Structure 1
């Protein structure tokens, strides 16, 4: 289980333009973070851990800090 998955899903859905998991994966590829749609799906469901490099890339693409992704607050 991971605490960042549900927060990543929430932040992704708050992005303008209804960003899908595939679109998020594509944006991550542009900054050399190799995460596919399936990996993002597993992360968001809490079935896959997030590495430090992936966390940093996700924060960059989602426009937040890594601390915000790791916070438990809603």
Structure 2
């Protein structure tokens, strides 16, 4: 996996994740729990770090987030 680092944010989907999550009325904890039910190791702190851009997001995690949030991964990636 190649990691792209812009110097500002460790991912490009954090702001969209936060926007979609809040539009759907989900808390970070609820989103993390939904991901855990799918077998992913997420916590509310993980979601916070993704949204703040302080955590890298692997491609399989982007796919899982898009599935749980019912959006395409293309939309998340911009």
Give the TM-score, by structure 1 length: 0.88
Structure 1 residue aligned with 2:4? none
Partner of 2:50: helix, strand, or coil?
helix
> Does the alignment pair 1:8 with 2:40?
no
| Match for residue 59 of structure 2 among 43, 48, 52 | 52
- Equivalent residues, number: 69
Structure of higher RCO (CA pairs closer than 8 Å, 6+ residues apart): 1
Q: Which runs of 4+ in 1 moved over 4 A?
A: none
- Per-residue deviation at 1:31? 0.8
> Does the alignment pair 1:38 with 2:49?
no
Q: CA RMSD in A?
A: 0.7
1:32-63: CA deviation from partner (whole Å, max 9, x where unpaired): 12111101100000111101111111000000
Unaligned runs of 5+ in 2: 1-8
